[in-house]
Amino acid sequence: MLCEGWSTPYPLGFQVSLTTVLMLELVLGFSSNLTVLVLYCAQSNLVDSVSNLVTVNLHVLDILVCVLCLPLTVAVILVPANGSGVSSLATLCCFHEACVTFTSVATAVNVLVISLDRYDISVRPASRLLTPRRAGLLLAAVWAVSLAVFFLPFLEGDFFSSRNRTLLCVGGQGYYTGMAMYYHLLLQVPCFFIAVAVMLFTYSRILQALNIRIGTHMMRGTRTKDSTCRIRSSPTPGSASTQPHATSPLPASSMGVQASVSAIIALRRAVRRHRDRRERQRRVLKMSLIIISTFLGCWAPLSAVNVLILCLGPSDGLVRLRLCFLAMAYGTTIFHPLLYAFTRQKLRRALKTRVKKRVVSLLQVDPAPSGGTVIHNSWVEGGGQRKTRKPRVEASDGTDRCLTEAVRE
């Protein structure tokens, strides 16, 4: 039972459901991104390229979002409001809007940088524009911009003066409809659309480059295979002159059969390689569509609500809808490790190795010192002893009978 004069800002069902979703995102997002960072730090060979560097930067951002921004959103949903606590609530709302602005702009810019890196490594693999030094400067600029937009809501709400005003928090306290209060929303919308445009451009060019490379490589591969088949099928004059009496010349029919067999083998290899390349092309296309659709599905609803607030002004319904879509946007902290980290073969191999070592250490049991039962784990010990040393069979009635019969003979 709440005290008199206190009121919950939102209905109880809304609070419980949204808080549950946010806490689940906090746990899953923090654990998955922390696992990725631990794997990257444990093995130095993983962070050996610009691509891994920008990916690590995104996971660091996701951890900050889980630690700082998600708890503030939960506090805004759950903290009750009364007449005397308006100033403290306005301060909480300013910090919350600052964190939301930081998350929106920083996520969009980091995803944009990752798209540019993949475009650079796919279209210009020999002469990359994004060198490690340039990548470091670019990431420093990304963090500078992200930290700069963090202070924008405080300047809008006159946080550093005596007139502190509420920003998109509790509807019972009223909203300010002046355009100067919502510049941070006006900044988030173009950042989202610019990131989407760059992602569409870069991934489309990546697919075009992949198609061109496969086509030219297939044409060159077939030409080289035809030339090698001709060379193998046609006898060289030097070999015929050096060994005139060694072997009798093969008939034309057997040479035709050998040439046909060589052509069939080369054709099968070409078909297999073409099938592998087409499979890789489909996999890249599918991953590109998943990455773009995930970013759109998580951040497009929030950007649409921001546009509605800028056009129609804030209201209780729009603010609640914005909180729901903000919870959807926080879902990228769970999807980013799945899309950008665990799709890498080196990271998956490192994770499997560490998990296997951990399981082996848990399953391995030391022998009891007092002559107790010793448990042998066949998976831990492996099959090496079976191959190197034959197992000893204990004496039984059958073996005794065979030995006695051999002695009698």
DSSP letters, 24-65, are: HHHHHHHHHHHHHHHHHHH-TTTS-SHHHHHHHHHHHHHHHI
Give the Cα separation of 398 and 390 in Å (integer).
19
- Could you tell me the sign of the dihedral formed by the alpha carbons of 187, 188, 189, 193, in that order? positive
Q: What is the pLDDT of residues 142-165, one digit of tens each?
A: 999 999 999 888 887 665 554 445
Give the Cα separation of 322 and 251 in Å (integer).
83
Residue 341: the pLDDT is 84
Asked if pLDDT for residue 377 goes beyond 50, the answer is no
Q: Quote the pTM value.
A: 0.70
Residue 173: the pLDDT is 45
CA angle 14–18–22, rounded 5-degree value: 165
Q: What is the pLDDT of residues 89-144, one digit of tens each?
A: 777 888 888 999 999 999 999 999 999 998 888 888 778 888 888 889 999 999 99
In eight-state DSSP terms, residue 367 is P
Asked if pLDDT for residue 172 goes beyond 50, the answer is no
Lowest mean pLDDT among 167-171, 188-192, 252-256, 372-376: 372-376
Residue 11: the pLDDT is 84
- Could you tell me the sign of the dihedral formed by the alpha carbons of 107, 109, 115, 117, in that order? negative
Give the Cα separation of 288 and 284 in Å (integer).
6
Q: What is the pLDDT of residues 344-374, one digit of tens each?
A: 777 777 777 777 777 777 776 554 455 555 4
Residues in CB range of 198: below 8 A, 6 or more apart = 112, 115, 116
For the chain, the average pLDDT equals 74
Residue 354: the pLDDT is 73
Asked if pLDDT for residue 309 goes beyond 90, the answer is no
Res. 22 pLDDT band, cuts 50 70 90: very high
Asked if pLDDT for residue 199 goes beyond 70, the answer is yes
Residue 108: the pLDDT is 95
Residue 269: the pLDDT is 83
The domain ranges of the chain are: 12-227+268-355
Structure tokens at 246: 């060694």
Residue 19: the pLDDT is 94
Q: Of 175-184, 275-284, 326-335, which has the strongest mean pLDDT?
A: 326-335
- The CATH code that applies to domain 12-227+268-355 is 1.20.1070.10
Residue 305: the pLDDT is 92
Residue 381: the pLDDT is 44
- Which of 3, 111, 123, 5 minimizes the C-alpha distance to 58? 111
Residue 176: the pLDDT is 53
Percent of the chain with pLDDT over 90: 30
Residue 383: the pLDDT is 47
CA distances (Å), origin 258, targets 236, 244, 265: 15, 21, 11
Give the Cα separation of 110 and 64 in Å (integer).
14
- Which of 96, 29, 13 minimizes the C-alpha distance to 332? 29
Give the Cα separation of 44 and 111 in Å (integer).
24
Residue 315: the pLDDT is 81
Q: Which residue has the higher pLDDT, 31 or 85?
A: 31
Residue 7, beta-bridge partner list: 81
